[in-house]
Every structure is written in C-alpha cells, then in structure tokens.
Amino acid sequence: MINVLANDGISKSGKDSLEKDGFNVSTVTVAQNQLISYVNKENISVLLVRSATTVRKDLIDQCPGLKIIGRGGVGMDNIDVDYARNKGINVINTPAASSASVAELVFAHLYSGVRFLFKSNRAMPLEGDSNFKGLKKTYAKGVELRGKTIGIIGFGRIGKETAKIAIGVGMKVLAYDKFLEKADLTLDFHDGKKINFEIKISKFDYLLKNSDFISLHVPAQKNFVINKNEIDMMKDGAGLINAARGGVVNEVELVSALDSGKLSFAGLDTFENEPKPAVKLLMHPKISLTPHIGAATNEAQDRIGLELADQIKSILS
C-alpha cells in the first residue's frame, strides 16, 4: 500500500480517486516542525501540499522514502523543486486547475473597486440607517468596466483566463509576457458557441501607460515587478490588482500612490508578509482585501484533487 499525506488537505473527489486505486490517503495536518518525523514514521511516499506547508532541502534529505511531492495549485516557490528532482523525486503541480477561479477573483476585486463595494460594505452597517443619503452621495461616482482597458502582466493560463472575462465584459485587453509575441484565446459559451481572439503582446511600458486597470499574473520574483518607477508611468487614477504572489508589488510605494491619488484603488489577494500582512494595507480605505483565496473555490479544489490523483497514479502505476 502506498501512503499519501495531503498535509494541506485534498478534495473529496481527489481522495476518493486515489483510495479507489488502493492508495492510503491521510488528510491530517502535521505541524511543519514535526513533518520530517511524521513522513518517516508513517512511511509516506507522496506528500501533497498547498501554500501553507514548505518542502525544503532538509525535509528532502531526511525523508528518503518520498517518491512524489505535489503542489495543489500553480506556484511552487514553497518547494525546493530542482533539488528534489535532482534527488530523483517527482515534483508535480496543477497549473490549469485554478486558473478560472483566480481570474474570477480578479474581477470581484475590480468590480469592488470601481463601485466602492469594499468601502460601502464597511460603512453601511455603521451608517446605513443614519446616513443613507450621505453614503449614496459618497459612493455615487462609480465607473463601468465596459469600454475600459485592462493591462495583464504575465499571460500564462491565469492571465489568459482573466483576458477572457475582460473580453466578455467588453474591455480592451493589453497583455505583456516576456516569453510570448502573441496568444490565441478561445471563448467558450454555454450553448456550444466559440469565438477566437488573437492577443498581440504589448511592450511593458506601453501597457503601463495605457491601461485603466492592471492585473498581475507572474510567479514569485526576486525584485518588484511594480515599483515606484512603474507606478509613475501608470495613468492617473488607475487601479491595480495583485492576485499573483506577494513581493511582486512594492507595498510601501503602493500605499504612497493610493494616498496621493495617483492610483484610485487596489485589490490584494497576496501579500509580502503572509500570514501577517502589513497593518497599513489591512486598514487602508482604498484597498479591497482577500486572504490569498484565489484558487479557493469548490470547483477548483475538485479539479486540483482529481488532477493530482491522475498524475500520482500515472507516475506510480
């Protein structure tokens, strides 16, 4: 029997798929400092994680029985991937499974920003009965996304899914990706109809200067993708969404740009200091906030679990 530890959980569909094929799947959450001991004691061959658990060289070195390390999601910056593969361990992830969920969250933040939902949801419980007309006047200057331009930095799977929603909303799409010159998109509709679009990749500076809203879809970086210089290039009153990774936006410069009015709002799902984001961000009246839940939909978790199960069975069959 092959033992699997899904330390950050796995969907019921994924667990059932593995158990149907004879795998023993544990979903107990083992503390990081006890993980090496647990993996060895329980003879774990497959370790599945999301973003909460890290798999570094010490664990890889001290757990010789590991055959597969799996990441439920896209980014694998919490795993020493090359080191594990050099040790003969298979490292897998599920890059396609959560793309649509993250893209929908981007638009939740965009709509929240342009219609002041994150502000009015805070104010209405406090003043809705005593200052209804005042609040109505305060939040009456929303704008439509239709007809506006979204700049998408990083045009992989999630960037493309974001573009598809944008096109459906009626937005113009600018995309930047250092690995692409153009990209083909297919929009699928409920009745089987399809429409194809070709997106030509823009220059980075052009995107910054010409986008009403900018959404980031890049992996973890050593340096900021959006720093003061990039913010200065953006349109006055632009909105910025980061549902990618903490550390790709200089948060100090972001707060400064929001305070000065250079940027009108931001939507953040990821932060430099997780799980303790800076208080200035959490309390800022111009930031729509979520706690790194981009991939956290029931549908995405089902797809992730099944995709991991299929890959594990393929490798170990």
For residue 44, the model assigns a pLDDT of 98
> pLDDT tens-digit profile of 10-32?
999 999 999 999 999 999 999 99
Query: What is the homologous superfamily of the domain 3-94+298-316 according to CATH?
Result: NAD(P)-binding Rossmann-like Domain (3.40.50.720)
pLDDT tens digits, one per residue of 194-209: 999 999 999 999 999 9
- Helix 12-20 / helix 298-316 crossing angle, nearest 10 deg: 20
> With 90 as the cut, is the pLDDT of residue 303 above it?
yes
Q: Where in the chain is the domain with CATH 3.40.50.720?
A: 3-94+298-316, 99-289
Distance of CA 299 to the CA centre of its chain: 15
pTM for the model: 0.89
| Whether residue 292 lies in the annotated active site | yes
Q: How far apart are CA 243 and CA 215, in angstroms?
A: 8
For 231, the token pair is 């913010």
pLDDT number for residue 74: 82
109 is catalytic: no
> Is 146 an annotated catalytic residue?
no
Distance of CA 254 to the CA centre of its chain: 19
Average pLDDT, the chain: 97
245 class by beta-carbon count within 10 Å (0-12 exposed, 13-18 middle, 19+ buried): buried
The β-bridge partners of 196 are 186
Element (H, E) at 200: strand 194-200
Find the catalytic residue in 245, 251, 284, 303. 245
Residue 88: phi, psi to the nearest 5?
A: 85, 10
3-state secondary structure 140-166: CCCCCCCCCEEEEECCCHHHHHHHHHH
Residue 96 has a pLDDT of: 87
**Fold (topology level) of 99-289:** Rossmann fold (3.40.50)
Higher pLDDT, 201 or 52: 201
Torsion from C-alpha of 214, 220, 222, 226, nearest 10 degrees: 10
CA dihedral 86, 89, 95, 97 (to 10 degrees): 180
140-173 tens-digit pLDDT: 999 999 999 999 999 999 999 999 999 999 999 9
Q: Is the pLDDT of residue 291 over 90?
A: yes
Is the confidence at residue 63, as pLDDT, over 90? yes
Q: Is the pLDDT of residue 191 over 90?
A: yes
Q: How confident is the model at residue 94 (pLDDT cuts 50, 70, 90)?
A: very high
- Annotated catalytic residue within 50, 157, 292, 303: 292
182 sits in which H/E element: strand 182-188
> Given a cut of 90, is residue 293 above it in pLDDT?
yes
Q: How far is CA 237 from the centre of its chain?
A: 24
